[in-house]
Amino acid sequence: MADQPTEIASLVECIVAPLIDHKDDLQISSSVSPEGVVLVEVKVNEEDAGKIIGRQGRVIKSIRTLARAAASRTNTHVEVEIIE
C-alpha cells in the first residue's frame, strides 16, 4: 500500500501526458490523507487545462474513473484534482 499513491500518480501521468501540448509544465503529486484517501493533484499549463477537463468535464471524469478503478483492488479511495 505504500507504493499505491505513486502507482496511481504514474497512471494519471500516462493518461494526461499525451493529451497536452506543454509537457514540461506537467506536475503530478500524490499524497495520502489521515483518512487513507489518496489525493492526486495535476498541474498543467493554463492552455492545456481545457484539454484535460474536456467537453462538459468528460475527460477528467474518465481519468478519475480509471484512477478509482485501479485503486479499487485495495479498497482505497482516490481523488484526482486539477490545480490551476
Percent of the chain with pLDDT over 70: 98
The SS3 assignment for 81 reads: strand
Query: Given this model, what pLDDT does residue 2 score?
Result: 54
Q: What is the CA radius of gyration of the chain?
A: 12
pLDDT category of residue 60 using cuts at 50, 70 and 90: very high
pTM of the model: 0.90
Question: Mean pLDDT across the chain, nearest whole number?
Answer: 92
Closest CA to 33 of 81, 84, 82: 81
Domains and CATH numbers, the chain: 4-83 (3.30.300.20)
Query: Given this model, what pLDDT does residue 13 score?
Result: 95
Residues 31/25, Cβ–Cβ less than 8 Å: no
Residues 7/38, Cβ–Cβ less than 8 Å: no
Query: Given this model, what pLDDT does residue 4 score?
Result: 80
